[in-house]
Chains A and B, each alone.
Chain A
């Protein structure tokens, strides 16, 4: 199956700094990428949907200026958590798919962000 690589797998940053998470589709061109946040022992909450070359669509309640998403190419999307605070600590997962295609989205392995 198709592979989605997410980097880094773990990151610790200081409060007030920004951290960037990368999501790459390794062997296919991803028209659409999704970013999720998962709190401990909870389900995945969709944060935003990004389409290559256009602005991301954020879910209600997600701060656009806090979570910057860029999808500049068909194989790379990035999520930048700006001015991170301890409450931003979470598990972030990306997925990638060919929009409209009858295939499943492929998920990255996730990034554990800890803000200290």
Chain B
């Protein structure tokens, strides 16, 4: 069965520090992968996506993610975190057949210390 795992429920970093949020997926076919950010009471904002090609993808707000097929991972990184990055982050995989639905990870809540 398809699934997405985000091992870290909470992460706390100091402002200016680097960040890596982990995401592992289970999907038999070539995955379409996404990272979304959600502020409290808000919808989802797309940070970046991977469909094919270069395995290192750049997104908005200085985020990047690297697709590693051998590790079934799609970790999100940012070299220097800003206080405004505090939010909930969701990794998702989109199925490439049938209903093309999305499967979301459980989310990682990022707290940024001043």
Contact = CB atoms under 8 A, between A and B. Distances in A.
B41 A34 contact: no
A43 interface: yes
Nearest to A98: B100
Contacts, number: 53
A105 interface: yes
B42 A43 contact: no
Given A43-B90, A44-B90, A99 B44 contact: no
Contact of A93 (B43, B101, B103, B106): B43
A57 B49 CA distance: 26
B105 interface: yes
Given A107-B43, A108-B43, A110-B43, A97 B104 contact: no
Interface residues of B, number: 22
Most buried by A among B101, B106, B109: B101
Contacts of A108: 43
Given A34-B102, A42-B107, A105-B94, 5 more contacts: A34-B101, A44-B90, A46-B102, A93-B43, A99-B99
